[in-house]
A and B are shown apart, each in its own frame.
Chain A
Amino acid sequence: MLWVTEWAPEPRDVDWGNLEIPYKHHFFRGIVAAIGAGLITIFYIPLTTLVLALANLDSLYKFLPHVLLEILLKMLVS
């Protein structure tokens, strides 16, 4: 893969720092970036769940005391 050509971007659109990166590294760098994005997405699932639980506070309120009582009962029995 010595000679790989692409359409050149506009001069003011070029990120000159990234121009030095060899073509071989692009694949692995892409994988690293994708893994990072996936980790961020997974990391944000609990946060969004917490926030969206606020939206369902009414049903959560109906549901919560039962659960807490059950947990308490189990703790007392065992």
Chain B
Amino acid sequence: MCVCVFPLTNILHAICCSPGVKQVIQGYLPALVLAGILYGLPPVFLFLSKLAGYVSISHQERVAAGKFFHLLAGNVFLVGVLGGSLISVINKFSSEPRKIPRYLAESMPSKVSCFFHTLYHVAKWENVATTAQRKSMHGER
């Protein structure tokens, strides 16, 4: 089905028809971009918990880590699980609405496991660099 209405669909068609590009874009790019987006957040949360007035630095770090975890769990995990499988299921919504739960149950595990495997692989690479930077981020202690 190649309907050339908008340039966006053309680009999508070009991407989807070349297997190598598609695999890279679907597999690695989202996890990489996500890691890049989330990279700047920990200092922001550290600043927020410093603003909250905790007396010890380790307490500030603990609270910041908790906030970051909530962002990851609520945002990335929930959006990834629900959004990803909803998009793939949405075609079938109109035809057979009674089977929605079954389709959800079918499509969710594969998408989620695949995406989160790559996400955590990429996160591990990135973690090494981040851990190396931690000391300079906090200054001399």
CB neighbours (8 Å) of B29 from chain A are 54
Q: Is B57's CB under 8 angstroms from A59's CB?
A: no
Q: Is B34's CB under 8 angstroms from A51's CB?
A: yes
Q: Is B26's CB under 8 angstroms from A58's CB?
A: yes
CB neighbours (8 Å) of A57 from chain B are 12, 15-16, 22, 25-26
CA–CA, A78 to B6, complex, Å? 20
Task: Return the CB mask of A39-61 against B: 1 if under 8 Å, else 0.
Answer: 01100110111011111111111
Residue of B nearest to A12 (CB): B141
Q: Which chain B residues numbered 1 to 22 have a C-beta less than 8 Å away from chain A? A: 1, 3, 5-6, 8-9, 12-13, 15-16, 22
CA–CA, A32 to B5, complex, Å? 48
Say yes or no for A74: interface residue by CB 8 A criterion: no
User: Which chain A residues have a beta carbon within 8 Å of chain B's beta carbons?
Assistant: 6, 9-10, 12-15, 18-19, 21, 25-26, 29-30, 32-33, 36-37, 40-41, 44-45, 47-49, 51-66, 68-69, 72
User: Which chain B residues have a beta carbon within 8 Å of chain A's beta carbons?
Assistant: 1, 3, 5-6, 8-9, 12-13, 15-16, 22, 25-27, 29-30, 33-34, 37, 41, 44-45, 48-60, 67, 70-71, 74-76, 79-80, 83-84, 87-88, 90-91, 111, 115, 141
> Could you show 14 A-B contacts with beta carbons less than 8 Å apart?
A13-B57, A18-B53, A18-B55, A36-B51, A37-B45, A37-B67, A41-B70, A47-B37, A51-B37, A54-B30, A60-B87, A63-B91, A68-B5, A68-B6
